[in-house]
Amino acid sequence: MYNTGNLVKEMVERHGRNRDSLMPILQDIVGRHNYLTDEAMVEVAKELDISAAEVYGTASFYSFLDTEPRGRYVIRVCKTITCSMKGKNDILGAIEDLLKIKLGETTLDNQFSLLETNCIGWCHKAPAILINDMPYTELTPEKVLDVIKGYMNK
């Protein structure tokens, strides 16, 4: 959980209070904290004078506007057919073993969350994962461990 503090006010200042500002505001919050807390959604709703259910409804439509608590680094493993055929399951297994979490979970130290995603457009360099916004491609189980260890030491 992060503290919303002045975050929402700041975003509203930047993007305005129109209904159209909803998406950019939510995107910016997620850009900074990886997910939307209930508190943040309620505050956005108040600022834009819409209901909290509408904010939640919008956020829940987009996979990348997460409404569940996530770690600092969100790992998204592409589950689409090309990546699957090129060894996605081995990649996933390697990450699970390293981080000691299962798909959908977050490490106890809140550093990593492990999710699947639909196609991220890297089929030609499958298998691929995303860590936050950064794609990593043509992975092998060994390579992916190096990548993640790199983040562990950050």
In the complex, the residues that contact another protein under the rule CB under 8 A are: 38, 41-42, 45-46, 50-58, 60-61, 67
Residues 32, 150: Cα–Cα separation, whole Å: 20
Q: 106 or 127: whose CB is closer to another protein?
A: 106
Instruction: State the nearest-atom distance from the C-beta of 65 to another protein, in Å.
Output: 12
β partners of residue 130: 76, 135
What are the start-end ranges of the H helices in the chain? 7-15, 22-33, 38-48, 52-61, 81-85, 88-99, 141-152
CA 96 distance to own-chain centroid: 17
Instruction: State the nearest-atom distance from the C-beta of 53 to another protein, in Å.
Output: 4
Q: 63 or 89: whose CB is closer to another protein?
A: 63
Q: 35 or 136: whose CB is closer to another protein?
A: 35
Instruction: State the nearest-atom distance from the C-beta of 66 to another protein, in Å.
Output: 12
Report yes or no: 113 and 71 within 8 Å, Cβ to Cβ. Answer: yes
Instruction: State the nearest-atom distance from the C-beta of 14 to another protein, in Å.
Output: 23
